[in-house]
Structure 1
Amino acid sequence: MALKFSIEASKRPEGSKPNALRRGGQIPATVYGHNGTESVQLVVNQKEAEFLIRDAGRGATVELKVPDMNWTTGAKIQEVQAHPWKGSLYHISFLSAKG
């Protein structure tokens, strides 16, 4: 069964600063459970992430594509961190449906 919502991510560059990523239009993200207890640091496009959170909602299961790793999986939007009154995204956590 194909999932209704999807987002494409890329591996987060080593040593990159979260605020610098946000200024560049990228949102830091993490996917947990990728390979057992392993987590992977990612970045997603800010506009795509905003549309995803708005349309799919927190807790939804989405298709997460990571071309850098040649990997696609279903993932639950586990946590969304946003500025308290501006609403701008800080970080998204995904929980992989399978390793």
Structure 2
Amino acid sequence: MSLTIECKPRPEGVNPRALRRDGLLPINLYGHKGAESDSFVVNYKEALNLLKAATPNETLVEVKTPGWSGSAVIREIQSHPWKRSLYHLSFFHTDAA
């Protein structure tokens, strides 16, 4: 089973709370451009479905962005302590296919 998530560029100057209110989840992608990281947004429900099927730091996820596509692992999940609503995801690019 292949896990894939589609990312869109994160709008400049938009508060993360406003993104979540609009059904989007902010994410960061590290390691695909050396030391640089890029900010994106994904559909909140797609991210929830991905997290049900993936294990952080273990499961390879196909990440598709407007200018790049490759495999990554979920490095960090930020969520509310007791509500379990997601705040943020971090992905780290890996060369393994």
TM-score, structure 1 as length reference? 0.90
Q: Which runs of no fewer than 5 residues in structure 2 stay unpaired? A: none
Residue 62 (structure 2) aligns with: 63
Q: How does 1:1-99 map to 2 (within 5 A)?
A: 4-59=2-57, 60-66=59-65, 68-69=66-67, 71-98=68-95
Aligned residues: 94
> Could you list the runs of 4 or more consecutive aligned residues of structure 1 that deviate by over 4 angstroms after TM superposition?
none
Q: Which runs of no fewer than 5 residues in structure 1 stay unpaired? A: none
- How much is the aligned-residue C-alpha RMSD, in angstroms? 1.1
**Which SS does the other structure have where 1:16 is aligned?**
coil
State the alpha-carbon separation in 2 of the partners of residues 88 and 10 from structure 1.
21
Shift of 1:57: 2.5
Deviations 1:1-24 (A, max 9, x none): xx7111001110111110000000
State the alpha-carbon separation in 2 of the partners of residues 9 and 35 from structure 1.
16
State the alpha-carbon separation in 1 of the partners of residues 86 and 72 from structure 2.
19
State the alpha-carbon separation in 2 of the partners of residues 6 and 57 from structure 1.
14
TM-score, structure 2 as length reference? 0.91
